[in-house]
């Protein structure tokens, strides 16, 4: 129908237009289920596509996502005091921490944690992890640094499991201390 035209319509034309309108509205109205999913109807992608119809089954939430009212992950300040290392500092844990350090951290912080890794020269500042203040960080604080990264440090929460992060925390505590043999001499 032409909009804006104020032409008088004959009764027959009006009836015809009304019938057409009813028909087209009926065609748009969604049915509960498509009668024949393979039937060639226009715009049936909402039925046959991967979309979930409203008020039907919800898709599973992405892995490790949190509901709005679920307990949230502690921020760094909270983690500092609330989190303690659940792993015992065994030789196996330290060995795992060292292996992880060599893979994930040494390229920036250096093999011995002195801040002289391969990539360090690309940064304005690469903190040595052997510094007294870093060695004095509470375990939970170091853990959250590893999990969330920093301004220029990447986060490792996605790459490392919880136990791997805690193993690293134990290993970082040994950086800067003399080798056991050296002490024995
Ligand atoms: C791509 C380079 C890079 C990698 C890889 C990296 N870091 Fe860092 N890290 C930094 C930088 C840069 C800082 C200084 C803070 C900032 O700018 O994010 C930092 C800071 C830190 C600090 C705090 C130091 C301070 O003085 O407060 C700790 C602890 C730390 N990193 C541990 C780690 C551990 C453990 C790993 C391996 C899991 C790691 N980092 C991997 C670049 C890196």
Give the residue extent of every domain in the chain. 11-48, 76-184
Q: Say which DSSP state 83 is in.
A: -
Distance 163 CA to ligand 1 centre (A): 19
* CATH assignment, 76-184: 1.10.760.10
- 145 exposed, middle or buried (CB, 10 Å; 0-12, 13-18, 19+)? buried
Torsion of CA 128, 156, 138, 74, to 10 degrees: 150
Half-sphere exposure (Cβ direction) of 44: Cα atoms closer than 13 Å? 14
Q: Residue for token digits 């001499």?
A: 185
Query: What residues flank ligand 1, with Cβ below 6 Å?
Result: 104-105, 107-109, 119, 123, 126-127, 129, 134, 142, 145-146, 150-154, 156, 168, 172
Show pLDDT as tens, one digit a residue, over the chain (185 residues): 444 445 565 777 777 666 666 555 555 555 566 566 666 666 766 666 666 677 777 778 888 887 788 777 888 899 999 999 999 999 999 999 999 999 999 999 999 999 999 999 999 999 999 999 999 999 999 999 999 999 999 999 999 999 999 999 999 999 987 765 555 55
pLDDT of residue 9: 59
pLDDT of residue 126: 96
Q: Residue for token digits 């590893």?
A: 146
pLDDT of residue 13: 75
Contact 85, 169 (CB under 8 A): yes
């Amino acid at each position: 129908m032409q909009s804006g035209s104020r032409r008088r319509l004959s009764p027959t034309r009006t009836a015809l237009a009304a019938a057409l309108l009813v028909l087209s509205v009926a065609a748009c109205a969604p049915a509960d289920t498509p009668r024949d999913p393979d039937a060639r109807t226009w715009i049936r992608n909402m039925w046959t596509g991967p979309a979930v119809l409203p008020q039907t089954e919800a898709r599973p939430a992405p892995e490790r996502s949190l509901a709005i009212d679920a307990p949230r992950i502690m921020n760094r300040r909270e983690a500092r005091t609330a989190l303690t290392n659940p792993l015992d500092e065994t030789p196996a844990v330290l060995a795992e921490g060292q292996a992880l350090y060599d893979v994930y951290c040494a390229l920036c912080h250096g093999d011995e944690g002195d801040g002289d890794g391969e990539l360090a020269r690309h940064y304005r500042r690469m903190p040595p992890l052997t510094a007294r203040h870093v060695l004095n960080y509470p375990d939970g604080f170091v853990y959250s640094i590893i999990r969330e990264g920093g301004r220029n440090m990447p986060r490792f929460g996605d790459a490392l499991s919880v136990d791997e992060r805690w193993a690293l925390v134990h290993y970082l505590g040994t950086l800067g201390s003399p080798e056991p043999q050296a002490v024995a001499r």
